[in-house]
Amino acid sequence: METAVAVAGAGGAGLTKWQAAALSAVAGWVWAASFYDLTRRARALVQPWVMRRVQAETPAILRFQRLQHKLLDNFFSVLSCVVSVPFYTGFLPLLFWSGHNKLARQMTLLMAFCDYLGNSVKDIVSAPRPCSPPVRRVTATEDEKENAMEYGLPSSHALNTVCLMGYLLHYVLTYGEHGSVMIAAGLSLAFLLVMLVAIARIYLGMHSPTDVIAGIGFGFVILAFWLVVHDHVDAFVVSGQNVSSFWAGLSLLMCFAYPKPEFPTPSFEYHTAFNGVAFGIVYGIQQTYFHFHTPDVPLIFSPQLPLLTFAGRVLVGIPTILVVKFCSKALSKWLLPVMCSTLGIPIVSSCYVPALKVDNSKSKKQGAGYLQRVFSLFPQKAYDVDTGIRFVQYASLAWSVVDLVPAIFAHLNL
């Protein structure tokens, strides 16, 4: 509980009772999960059953892969790219700049929520994907090769497709003109896409049927929950009290509220990136909502925002956010180690800072400052500074999407 108070104090004074209670609950969960070793206990219950299911389903996967054809390889590989996290990450800035701000911020936060829950379950269960060989695994892109390094259950592609297609359909039917034909067409398209993604993940050898079914099931549960809370979340983001300080504290705690997998995978890196994106979007919206993000902003294809102007926005916006991402990464690689050293927080680096890769003993010998005593409540002796660097660069990128770039658009009359 003391940690949540310290985080709240660092984020800013004046948090409401429910905000302090929420941060305290997350901090309490982190402590309890570590003290009672909940991840290991849950894994011991679930992992053996899942592994037996994956092994039992391997012959069925092999029979299905007898349909192997180059056209199917290409089609399912492209489909997997279209519903992957990198695609959504590239698509969401365009959604913001097209004027659909509420849809864009809700899909961004939903994506971060899905990524956290889905990857947390993956790393709690730590059940491998179908064994390759004998299963033929098709990894046509670097993104797919990284996905193959994660655990299997649940399928993130299936989970994300259910959630994002479901929310997009809900948004269109809620805010657009529609009749029974459009409703039927929307439901049919969403169902078809989910089924194709499910088939693709099995055909490509990335998942077993159990992984896919679990992904679809988790997706429906998360979508149902989000449809209940999304209006409350949006109202809080655009007009709540202490939003930035609360979200900063929550983002920090969420870096710790993540299960440790049986063996290292890229899942936590994805969570950190989306954690940063969510904070950057929320912070930027808080600063500029009444300037750039109100419901009356022009929409794409309207007289105020024709396609040519939107193309100009893309040509200006994409290079700008990439420059911001590069500069923030370079700055945080220099600044964060200095700050941690000054405050006495022990750190290592797995990738970004070569000088810290093997310098564990030096980090542990640093003096115990106040923040180190606070962080000692968490179950780590040294902290990977790459987590902070990754968080800062993606938070900066997301902030630039909703704050810096729209300001440039306004200056250029785009």
Give the max Cα distance, the chain. Answer: 68
Burial of residue 349 (CB within 10 Å: 0-12, 13-18, 19+) is buried
pTM value > 0.75: yes
Which residues make beta-bridge pairs with 206?
none
Tally the C-alpha atoms within 13 A of residue 246's C-alpha that lie toward its C-beta.
20
Angle of CA points 313, 94, 198, to nearest 5°:
160
Residue 383 is given by DSSP the state E
Residue 26 lies in a domain: no
Residue 33 lies in a domain: no
Is the alpha carbon torsion for 371, 374, 377, 378 positive or negative? negative
Within a 10 A sphere around the Cβ of 264, how many other Cβ atoms?
Answer: 12
- Whether 215 contacts 118, CB under 8 Å: yes
Residue 133 lies in a domain: yes
Q: In a 3-state reduction of DSSP, which class is residue 129?
A: coil
pLDDT by residue, tens only, the chain of 414 residues: 344 434 434 444 467 888 899 999 999 998 988 888 899 999 999 999 999 999 999 999 999 888 888 888 888 888 888 777 677 777 889 999 998 999 999 999 999 999 999 999 999 999 889 988 888 888 877 777 777 788 888 998 999 999 989 999 998 888 877 777 878 888 888 899 999 999 999 998 889 999 999 999 999 999 999 999 999 999 999 988 889 999 999 999 998 888 888 888 888 888 999 999 999 999 999 888 888 888 888 888 888 889 999 999 999 999 999 999 999 999 998 888 888 888 887 878 788 777 766 544 443 333 344 444 444 544 456 778 888 899 999 999 999 999 999 999 988 888
Q: How many residues does the chain have?
A: 414
CA-based nearest residue to 144, from 197, 91, 86 = 86
**Would you state the torsion angle of the CA atoms of residues 176, 178, 182, 186, taken in this order, to the nearest 10 degrees?**
30
Give residue 191's domain range. 40-357+371-412
Count the domains in the chain.
1
Residue 160 lies in a domain: yes
Active site residues: 157, 207
Angle of CA points 203, 208, 213, to nearest 5°:
105
Residue 13 lies in a domain: no
The pLDDT value given to residue 236: 92
Residue 22 lies in a domain: no
Angle of CA points 20, 26, 32, to nearest 5°:
130
Residue 352 lies in a domain: yes
Residue 53 lies in a domain: yes
CA-based nearest residue to 104, from 235, 293, 340 = 293
> Distance (Å, rounded) from C-alpha 34 to C-alpha 54?
29
